[in-house]
Structure 1
Amino acid sequence: MQHQRKVMKKRKKICNFCLNDINSLDYKDINKVKKYISERGKILPRRVTGNCAKHQRLVTATIKRARIMALLAFVEE
């Protein structure tokens, strides 16, 4: 007996920033910034968030800025 695997077609993720025409992300807006951080405190990659390269760099810089300003912890426990 052969087992057949179901082929799931992955839906292309669309950049939320491009979709809503957002060109900036404020490091003081912690609720929006926390959407791009895992429960361990790591920055989520593009393949998870669906951001384009330009906006992923923006998110990364914003998270790092918020960490330096002590608005976000470097490590979550």
Structure 2
Amino acid sequence: MASIIDCSDEKMKQIESAIQARDEKESIYQSVTKAVEKFSTEELVAYQFRSAEKSVKDTLRYFAIEHIVQEIILEKALKRG
């Protein structure tokens, strides 16, 4: 059995593709439920862990970019005097 947090890039893509290929006529809950039924509990837990990790990294990256943009705005404002 794989480690709880072991979710390969390929498995991530498989799960994400299954979720994204949902039927627009169904509710999100119904579509996602159908999409992930074929995956094991371990695969889904690993997917959740990797997704959360990615979300944190994306959020940190976003705030880092925003901080840099704010610094540039301040520098330009100070140069204008």
When normalised by structure 1's length, the TM-score is 0.37
**Bigger radius of gyration:** 2
Between Structure 1 and Structure 2, which shows a larger proportion of helix residues?
Answer: 2
